[in-house]
Amino acid sequence: MIQPQQPYTGQIFQPTQTFSPTAPQPFYGNSFEDEPPLLEELGINFDHIWQKTLTVLHPLKVADGSIMNETDLAGPMVFCLAFGATLLLAGKIQFGYVYGISAIGCLGMFCLLNLMSMTGVSFGCVASVLGYCLLPMILLSSFAVIFSLQGMIGIILTAGIIGWCSFSASKIFISALAMEGQQLLVAYPCALLYGVFALISVF
């Protein structure tokens, strides 16, 4: 549990980087040049983030089941913030609602998916997938900045984007959890969740 510390080889009163309480990989060594790059240490992998974003943006492309193996919350956090920012541009200061609804929705989906699937899911995985599939909703709220969504075109656009979001989310869940014949059943609660987000954007 407590990693044996390297014997102190420097001088007293001179700072060196020998103590890193959260370094799990011993081979990273103790000197500054051997430390991993910051992004790698934080677990942010831009290539994976980009791949997952592309999976969301092509709803008709078959998803790979293994992309959700590492739960990464950096992308979803960025998307949530971007959503809040576009809402802000439209004059609605509703970060609180966005966070609250995401939390409740993620919890609900987590319980439902654990009950419906053979293998369980972790909460991080659910939060990650739902966060990534929020991306089309950002498009909707940026439209709301330019013109009001309360007409017929707005309703059709909203319905289309909700469908897009929930279809991608259910597609990723189905492929990651190997659930057959349940895509519409998973898409429906996702549609409810994204519907609430859309309500915030529209009204």
**Residue 196, interface with other proteins (CB under 8 A)?**
yes
Q: Which of 189, 190, 200, 201 binds other proteins (CB under 8 A)?
A: 189
Stretch that binds other proteins, among 50-58, 112-120, 152-160, 162-170 (CB under 8 A): 112-120
Best CA proximity match to 194, nearest among 151, 154, 163, 172? 163
Write out the two tokens for 143. Answer: 């439209």
Task: Report which of 15, 42, 11 is spatially closest to residue 31, judged by C-alpha positions.
Answer: 15
Nearer to other proteins among residue 5 and residue 51 (C-beta) = 5
The reply on whether position 5 binds other proteins by CB under 8 A is yes
Minimum CB separation of residue 161 from other proteins in Å reads 17
The one among 44, 112, 139, 145 contacting other proteins by CB under 8 A: 112
Closest CA to 78 of 47, 107, 53, 61: 53
**Exposure of 172 by Cβ count < 10 A (0-12 exposed, 13-18 middle, 19+ buried)?**
buried
Q: Which range touches other proteins (CB under 8 A), out of 13-21, 39-47, 61-69, 161-169?
A: 13-21
CB 167 within 8 A of CB 187: yes
**Which residue ranges make up the site for other proteins (CB under 8 A)?**
1-2, 4-8, 11-12, 18-19, 21, 108, 112, 115-116, 180-185, 188-189, 192, 195-196, 203
